[in-house]
Amino acid sequence: MNDAQAAQDITVCGDDDIAEQEALQDVLIDPQTANRLAEIFKALSDPSRLRLISLLMDHEVCVHSLETAVGMSQSAISHQLRYLRQLNLVRFRKEGRHVYYALDDDHVRELFAQGLLHVEHG
């Protein structure tokens, strides 16, 4: 059993139990972290951005190929990728006139894959 599952097995209710309240405070994320995490989920709430991420799951892809695959204009793709880049969800590299994008790290890949599994298998 992992830590998340173990935490779900504990029921906490009671405003006079100091130990329970301290246990809750130990797992409560701070407001700044909550805001940053909300920005990540906000970025992942857009279907166009999710489709772009799906193309980048296993490949580094140039903007032109993304444009062709998704059927969006280059400026729309660039706008979405810039947003994802600002949140460190994707990275890019230039090679001559071409700009290639890839997922920034395995955390992004795992987050997307887990969300997709949840949708596909309920």
Question: Is 72 inside any structural domain?
Answer: yes
Structure-token match 């490949």, residue found: 59
| Runs of H (alpha helix) within 2-95 | 3-8, 18-27, 31-43, 47-56, 63-70, 74-86
Checking if the pLDDT of 5 tops 60, the result is: no
**Tens digits of residue pLDDT in 25-75:** 888 999 999 999 999 999 999 999 999 999 999 999 999 999 999 999 999
Q: What is the CATH number of the domain that holds 101?
A: 1.10.10.10
Residue 82 near residue 60 (C-beta atoms within 8 A): no
Question: Is 34 inside any structural domain?
Answer: yes
pLDDT bin (cut points 50, 70, 90) of residue 2 is low
pLDDT bin (cut points 50, 70, 90) of residue 117 is very high
Domain that holds residue 67: 11-121
Query: What amino acid occupies position 43?
Result: A
Question: Is 66 inside any structural domain?
Answer: yes
Question: Is 2 inside any structural domain?
Answer: no
Structure-token match 């890839």, residue found: 102
pTM of the predicted model as reported, rounded to 2 decimal places: 0.81
**Tens digits of residue pLDDT in 72-111:** 999 999 999 999 999 999 999 999 999 999 999 999 999 9
Q: Which residues contact 44 (CB under 8 A, 6 or more apart)?
A: 50, 53, 111, 112, 115
Rounded alpha-carbon distances, angstroms, from residue 116 to 16, 54, 107: 41, 10, 14
Checking if the pLDDT of 16 tops 70, the result is: no
